[in-house]
Structure 1
Amino acid sequence: MLNRPAHALSTEWLVNPQQPEARVRLHFSGEADPTTRQLYAALEVQLSGDWKTYWRSPGEAGIPPEIDWRIKQPQGSSNIETVEWLWPAPERIEMLGLHTLGYKNGTVFPLLIQVKDLNQPVSINARLRLSSCTTVCVLTDYEIQLDFTPSDLKTDPQASFLIDKALSRVPTTMPDTGLSVESVVWNKENNKVVATAHSETGWEKAVDVIIDGQEDITFSLPVFTIEDNQLQAVMNASSWLGEYNLSDESVTVTLLNGDNGLEKTLSVKEVAASSLPADTRSASLLVLLGLALLGGLILNLMPCVLPVLGMKLSSVLHASGQQARVTRKQFLSSAAGIVFSFWLLAAFLWILKLTGNSIGWGIQFQSPWFIGFMVAVTALFAANLIGLFEIHLPSFLSTRLAAAGDNSTAGHFVQGMFATLLATPCSAPFLGTAVAFALSTNSFNLFAIFTALGVGLALPYLLIAARPSLLKWLPKPGQWMINLRRLLALMLLVTSLWLTSLLQAFLPVYLLLMIALIPTVLVLHRLLISLMPQAGKRILLLPSVFLSMAIVLFGAWSTGLFTPEQSTSDNLIWTPLNEQEIASSVAEGKVVFVDVTADWCITCKANKIRVIDRDPTNSLLQKDSIVTMKGDWTRPSEEINAYLQKNGRFGVPFNIVYGPAAPEGIPLPVLLDHDSVTAAIEKASSR
């Protein structure tokens, strides 16, 4: 390795053939402190493209860089006593669904190297191990060799500027900016860690709190509560080892406020749940199980569960007039199917989390294969109810699926499973809180919360199973049952057409129309035959085709299939979600209304029809002082997924209002109403 002259001491760029996208170089400023015998140096790392490297605590994945100075080895570095590695403030980087801390495109690490004697030669013979990642990670070694005598060095202005600039980004070397970290507390029961900080000058939009210092323990993205100059950062702790104890353990808190920062080491104090901030006390597992149970129950009343209601009514029809024992068994089977399907969802999300993929409530509807599967299922159920044909499961199950007069349980079990799958595009009050906790905690809590959600959704089934006599209140079997089956078939057909419209993000329009037209013709043709048996099948085929074409074309027009690029509302100008633009707009004194939505989210559609597209909210959002932003989660998006999780959410709809008086944002309820939107906008805009 070439040695530079004493007035410009640095290595050449070091490149390892195994990782051509990264290069490193060691600089010395030429300055030395005669009192401490410290030399000022810096390790410069440059990464091309989207490559990244890591902070000292990389987060959920990654390996921090390190240098083995080989001070005690015979052929290693000599005349070196200690080396202090300083860490510039990191960025939060989401990669493959994992939250990491590091540096994009590289960084400069300041080094304080203390030598034994400034007048004796220093020999550096060290090895740098650097982890760099995109969608794959490469662990690379670099041999660093340099020989010089500190007393012979002259100041290198370029190296000094590089080192000073890097030092300005290190929280431990930043000047006093009125920041302070007051405490870190932990409640074991609800797994909440709360860091409290204070700023004499107020808080910037770019505020962050990072906790590290405990091996094998990671901390989730913080959720901030800001009141005047006081800040509270609430996060969850987790360990891949399972059990852990933070009580009286030492942690390092890195507080970032815009371009300013502070780092402080504190002892964690264990507190009771009642000592936590009021908005975090409800996070205990017992309370969250109650919220999940209530959220699952309310899910039965959401507009997207109409086809599920149809399946329930179909079960009631089949159960009418039979023995209480059989009724109880069938309804318990449906309830078991619901709970089992929630276990499948929990397992699916758990696997996604372990493998580093994005997770969230209803994300299966981001897959065209899943949507296509549900289109086929709902169409088959509709055809079965109208009597087009009977659906048989494999013979070894010895059952028919939801067929009249069938006393077996397998069909009802499967019916409950599909009921759950059709319910997942919806959000309900309390559901978001429970799901957010479940997806940010350990596997036991995840399955416990999803079990409670399933039991909540299955409560009507369980009620009938407990009291089969309730079915006696139904009218006696007759023509009304046939008419109700026809109505349920139409409801499921509409559901199938709606699901087909969700494929517009993946398939061309003409193919979607053909997919929608085929089951519509079959079901309507059979329906007309049952209504007018004397007319004959052939005569009714032509009106069935024309009626089906009219229904499909009207549905395509009403769902925006012909104009997929149109805005969420015709009279509102929506810009794509961008956190930097939010901060810029708020700095200009404007209010920002954010709507994170998805085409498959029926609760989102309900909010749009009931509130966003209607006055007074619609007129309010049209004001020049208000910026409307939309995040479309119809298809997978790492950016939107990261934004949701940053705000403690794992599903849509999510609406939040930012403004000069609320730069951190005011989250809105899952089900919007005019009063809550108006109040949030007024609060965010007032100073």
Structure 2
Amino acid sequence: MATDWFDEDFASVRLISAQTETGGKEVLRLGLEYELQPDWKIYWRSAGDAGFPPQLDWTGSENIGEAEMLWPAPYRFSIFGLETFGYKDHIILPIDVAVMDPTEPVAIRLDVDYLVCSDVCIPATATFNLDIPAGSSGSAGGSITSAHAHQIEKFVSKVPLTGAGLPIQVTSISRVNSGDARKLRLGVQGLDAAGVQVEDILIESDLRAGYGLPKPAGSSDDQADDIRYFDIAVMGLAQDQSLIDQPLTVTVIAGPLSVEQDLVVGAASDGVAPKAAPASTGASAGNSFWMIGLFALLGGLILNIMPCVLPVLSIKVMSALKANAQDTNRVRIGFLASAAGIITSFWMIAAVLVGIKLAGGTIGWGIQFQQPLFLTVMTIILALFALNMWGLFEISGPDQLGNAANDAITRSESHGRHISSNFLTGMFATLLATPCSAPFLGTAVGFALAGSVFDIFWIFTLLGIGLAIPYFAIAIQPRVARILPKPGRWMNGVKFVLGLALIGTAIWLLGVLSVQVGLTGAIAVGLGLIAGGVFIWARKRTSNLRPRLAFTSLAVLGFLIALFAPGFSKPPSLPGTSSGNGTLTWQPFAPETIDTLVADGKTVLVDVTAEWCVSCQVNKKLVLEKSNVRTALTQDNIVLMQADWTRPDQQIADYLASYGRFGIPFNAVFGPGAPDGILLSELLGVDEVLGALDDANGSASLASSAE
């Protein structure tokens, strides 16, 4: 539900609701949505040196009580020595409104006074009327969630975290003795563990003073403490005013994370940093930087043995089998070219992710598998590779383009251009590897995507090197490839089996595609591929020119039908009720309910999964569906909550980012013994899951009952 837009030359604003009816709930979540013209801004709750935040007047409203504005982390605007804080472009300010009688309708009458500034500042007023009918939750078996709910929650996720057990937190704040200058020194703990770096620190106080940008002042001597220190200049403080014992509200903004704490300034410290400040390179400094690099290298290496990379092994095997008929230098150059293709692909992925991040979009590991066009193209490529491996066709064409295409599909050595073939094979291997997450990979990718442009390219380069290590190994010692049997007729059988593996992967991708575009669209793609394959087979069976041209045209038509079929398909609707997965029953993803469930003594297992995530499916089959784990998960006090990221979902992306994670699998356990959650590894283990359930439950009953 939403009001009409209230338009001004510099901004448009409207009131939206996350609910279509009261639903028997005592709190109604609304959102004040602004669309601001370029270079215009509105203000945060503490505007800074100038300005004021939106002011709300609920006079005339019926059946409502107190209203609380939730403030997403703002931007800092610095101009002519003035520091202000606010929002630009598009912003939704969530509002929680108490409902006096949940069984009665709500009438909202809201007047909003706000200030919009660019080169000049203009005060504006908007008036909204929004009526929300009464209704009991689930009374009609439907949902009371409005079309605006997810957009509101997107900005709720940007509201700074408060309370105990914060992922990052200010552990100390004191005045610094540095001559006449007034400074505060803050110690922030947990940045390395969360894989983030401080972007800004905002100070609110009753003093008439301004607070500058945070400047790194060093880190703790004990690396285990994981504490970074920052100095903040205090400006405009009167001489008779003291910072000591002054209560402050501190908001730390660190990438996707932001936290808010109420603190009191401690006694003065000297101006010497605990440790020399690290050089600014755009990446988290210190030993953790190199440790994350090592994780990236290991994560890339382990990707070679992950289930989603198995189809690529068929191409690797064929390269190695043909290698022992080549000279040593040719083997070395070929495998180095494949390694170069892998690393180049990671650079391309990094460049795309940087572009999306700079544009303010959602980024994550394997998110290309959420795009129907990507899935369709990859399915067609796999089908062509399989048909070629079965000897049904070879691609030829004029000049360099024809030779490159021929190399990419057939690996024919007759043209003497095997480098391009191996290079493109490396790129293809990378594309198929991305739906998998492996040990160390999630940590490395989360660090990269939460960091700077340098972080992303640094980590993705190491991921590429890790995935390419087997190629480098054979390039360094080509005789490794010669251990395999000499080529012969037996290779035709191997080609047939490997072609079946590629077709199996294509069928798996069609299954993922069916979730994106519907079963009808996926079937249309499959039928187009089958038709194309049949006509390619028919073309192979005849030597007459005219039928060959006809069959070629029909085969191309079949593949074009496969390519464009998803565009004419209607995506299936997302399920709105509990879903069963094997013998386990999962509730829909509702992270806002976790605290309530934990308070009621429940233990909650959150599983973020996707059809395209092979590692997720392996976790379910080999761990979550095992009898002893299943017994533990089906107890009365266990709540299973699943988020399906097969299709793009901003709420899920924001939830992952709140934990510094940008890829899946993602599993976490919450309970009375672990209200802040226990994050599990990407590849689950039985003991790990049972142990986390015990810790979260606060007892050992689960493990013992599962034995």
Residue 262 (structure 1) aligned with residue 254 (structure 2): no
Whether the aligned pair in 2 keeps the contact of 1:568 and 1:574 (CA below 8 Å) is yes
Distance 1:260 1:470 in 2: 57
Distance 1:353 1:628 in 2: 32
Distance 1:668 1:349 in 2: 25
Whether the aligned pair in 2 keeps the contact of 1:90 and 1:101 (CA below 8 Å) is no
Q: Give the drift of 1:404.
A: 3.4
Distance 1:102 1:215 in 2: 25
Q: Give the drift of 1:54.
A: 6.2
Whether the aligned pair in 1 keeps the contact of 2:514 and 2:521 (CA below 8 Å) is no
Q: For residue 327 of structure 2, what is the amino acid of its counterpart?
A: Q
The alpha-carbon distance between structure 1 residues 253 and 457, as it changes in their structure 2 partners (threshold 3 A), is farther
Whether the aligned pair in 2 keeps the contact of 1:662 and 1:684 (CA below 8 Å) is yes
The alpha-carbon distance between structure 1 residues 19 and 515, as it changes in their structure 2 partners (threshold 3 A), is closer
Distance 2:45 2:427 in 1: 42
Whether the aligned pair in 2 keeps the contact of 1:601 and 1:652 (CA below 8 Å) is yes
Q: Note the alpha carbon deviations across 1:110-154, whole angstroms, 9 max, x for none.
A: xxxxxxxxxxxxxxxxx97437xxxxx99971179xxxxxxxxxx
Distance 2:385 2:321 in 1: 15
Whether the aligned pair in 2 keeps the contact of 1:93 and 1:100 (CA below 8 Å) is no
Residue 21 (structure 1) aligned with residue 25 (structure 2): no
Distance 2:645 2:215 in 1: 27
Q: Give the drift of 1:509.
A: 1.7
Distance 2:119 2:661 in 1: 32
The alpha-carbon distance between structure 1 residues 590 and 440, as it changes in their structure 2 partners (threshold 3 A), is same
Q: For residue 188 of structure 2, what is the amino acid of its counterpart?
A: A
Within 5 Å, which residues of 2 pair with 1:63-78?
A: 66-67=50-51
Q: Note the alpha carbon deviations across 1:249-270, whole angstroms, 9 max, x for none.
A: 45976279xx996155689955
Distance 1:394 1:587 in 2: 70
Residue 403 of structure 1 corresponds to which residue in structure 2? 411
Residue 603 of structure 1 corresponds to which residue in structure 2? 615
The alpha-carbon distance between structure 1 residues 645 and 454, as it changes in their structure 2 partners (threshold 3 A), is same
Q: Note the alpha carbon deviations across 1:88-129, whole angstroms, 9 max, x for none.
A: 8734599xxx99998715799xxxxxxxxxxxxxxxxxx974
Residue 466 (structure 1) aligned with residue 470 (structure 2): no
Q: Secondary structure at the residue paired with 1:67?
A: coil
Q: Secondary structure at the residue paired with 2:607?
A: strand
Distance 2:92 2:629 in 1: 42
Whether the aligned pair in 2 keeps the contact of 1:576 and 1:631 (CA below 8 Å) is yes
Q: Give the drift of 1:320.
A: 2.2
Question: 363, 367, 376: which is aligned to 1:363?
Answer: 367
Within 5 Å, which residues of 2 pair with 1:198-217?
A: 211-212=201-202
Q: For residue 373 of structure 1, what is the amino acid of its counterpart?
A: V
Q: Secondary structure at the residue paired with 1:330?
A: helix
Residue 350 of structure 1 corresponds to which residue in structure 2? 354
Q: Note the alpha carbon deviations across 1:659-687, whole angstroms, 9 max, x for none.
A: 01101000011101111110000000117
Residue 619 (structure 1) aligned with residue 619 (structure 2): no
Q: Note the alpha carbon deviations across 1:195-229, whole angstroms, 9 max, x for none.
A: 359xxxxxxxxxxx99325766799xxxxxxxxxx
The alpha-carbon distance between structure 1 residues 589 and 569, as it changes in their structure 2 partners (threshold 3 A), is same
Residue 130 (structure 1) aligned with residue 116 (structure 2): yes
Q: For residue 384 of structure 1, what is the amino acid of its counterpart?
A: N
Residue 104 (structure 1) aligned with residue 93 (structure 2): yes
Distance 1:235 1:99 in 2: 32
Q: Secondary structure at the residue paired with 1:284?
A: helix
Q: Give the drift of 1:515.
A: 1.9
Q: Give the drift of 1:297.
A: 0.4
The alpha-carbon distance between structure 1 residues 306 and 440, as it changes in their structure 2 partners (threshold 3 A), is same
Within 5 Å, which residues of 2 pair with 1:569-580?
A: 569-580=581-592
Residue 433 of structure 1 corresponds to which residue in structure 2? 443
Q: For residue 372 of structure 1, what is the amino acid of its counterpart?
A: T
Distance 1:101 1:250 in 2: 31
Residue 663 of structure 2 corresponds to which residue in structure 1? 651
Distance 2:392 2:123 in 1: 71
Distance 1:509 1:572 in 2: 24
Q: Note the alpha carbon deviations across 1:574-620, whole angstroms, 9 max, x for none.
A: 11222221111001000000000111100001101111122111121
Distance 1:427 1:385 in 2: 29
Q: Note the alpha carbon deviations across 1:518-560, whole angstroms, 9 max, x for none.
A: 4357669989999xxxxxxxxxxxxxxxxxxxxxxxxxxxxxx
Q: Give the drift of 1:469.
A: 1.2
Residue 141 of structure 1 corresponds to which residue in structure 2? 122
**Mean Cα deviation higher: 382-391 or 246-255:** 246-255
Whether the aligned pair in 2 keeps the contact of 1:55 and 1:101 (CA below 8 Å) is no
Q: Give the drift of 1:434.
A: 0.6
Within 5 Å, which residues of 2 pair with 1:537-548?
A: none
Q: For residue 195 of structure 1, what is the amino acid of its counterpart?
A: V
Q: Note the alpha carbon deviations across 1:438-462, whole angstroms, 9 max, x for none.
A: 1111111211110100010011111
**Mean Cα deviation higher: 670-679 or 394-403:** 394-403
Q: Give the drift of 1:424.
A: 0.3
Distance 2:629 2:519 in 1: 33
Distance 1:65 1:130 in 2: 15
Residue 337 of structure 1 corresponds to which residue in structure 2? 341
Q: Note the alpha carbon deviations across 1:633-666, whole angstroms, 9 max, x for none.
A: 1111111111101111110000000001101000
Whether the aligned pair in 2 keeps the contact of 1:330 and 1:412 (CA below 8 Å) is yes
Q: For residue 687 of structure 2, what is the amino acid of its counterpart?
A: D
Q: For residue 628 of structure 1, what is the amino acid of its counterpart?
A: L
Within 5 Å, which residues of 2 pair with 1:173-252?
A: 182-183=171-172, 195=188, 211-212=201-202, 247-250=230-233
Q: Give the drift of 1:476.
A: 1.3
The alpha-carbon distance between structure 1 residues 282 and 625, as it changes in their structure 2 partners (threshold 3 A), is farther
Q: For residue 141 of structure 1, what is the amino acid of its counterpart?
A: I
Q: For residue 395 of structure 1, what is the amino acid of its counterpart?
A: D
Q: Give the drift of 1:506.
A: 3.1
The alpha-carbon distance between structure 1 residues 215 and 435, as it changes in their structure 2 partners (threshold 3 A), is farther
Whether the aligned pair in 2 keeps the contact of 1:57 and 1:64 (CA below 8 Å) is no
The alpha-carbon distance between structure 1 residues 412 and 261, as it changes in their structure 2 partners (threshold 3 A), is closer
Residue 302 of structure 1 corresponds to which residue in structure 2? 306
Q: Give the drift of 1:49.
A: 5.0
Distance 1:235 1:602 in 2: 37
User: Gaps spanning 5+ residues in structure 1: where?
Assistant: 1-13, 24-45, 69-86, 109-126, 132-136, 145-170, 172-179, 186-192, 198-208, 220-231, 237-245, 275-279, 531-560
Distance 1:576 1:65 in 2: 45
Residue 646 of structure 2 corresponds to which residue in structure 1? 634
Residue 452 (structure 1) aligned with residue 444 (structure 2): no
Distance 2:532 2:8 in 1: 65
Distance 1:492 1:288 in 2: 34
Q: Secondary structure at the residue paired with 1:665?
A: strand
Distance 1:365 1:65 in 2: 46
Q: Give the drift of 1:496.
A: 1.0
Q: Give the drift of 1:492.
A: 0.8
Q: Secondary structure at the residue paired with 2:360?
A: coil
Whether the aligned pair in 2 keeps the contact of 1:338 and 1:454 (CA below 8 Å) is yes
Q: Secondary structure at the residue paired with 2:343?
A: helix
Residue 506 (structure 1) aligned with residue 516 (structure 2): yes
Question: 663, 666, 669: which is aligned to 2:675?
Answer: 663
Distance 2:301 2:581 in 1: 31
Q: For residue 254 of structure 1, what is the amino acid of its counterpart?
A: V
Whether the aligned pair in 2 keeps the contact of 1:386 and 1:523 (CA below 8 Å) is no
Question: Based on CA coordinates, which of the two structures has the bigger radius of gyration?
Answer: 1
Q: For residue 631 of structure 2, what is the amino acid of its counterpart?
A: S
Residue 90 of structure 1 corresponds to which residue in structure 2? 71
Q: For residue 212 of structure 1, what is the amino acid of its counterpart?
A: L
Q: For residue 456 of structure 1, what is the amino acid of its counterpart?
A: G
Distance 1:138 1:662 in 2: 50
Whether the aligned pair in 2 keeps the contact of 1:51 and 1:104 (CA below 8 Å) is no
The alpha-carbon distance between structure 1 residues 383 and 184, as it changes in their structure 2 partners (threshold 3 A), is farther
- Report the TM-score, using the length of structure 1 for normalisation: 0.63
**Mean Cα deviation higher: 306-315 or 568-577:** 568-577
- Report the TM-score, using the length of structure 2 for normalisation: 0.61
Distance 1:380 1:270 in 2: 61
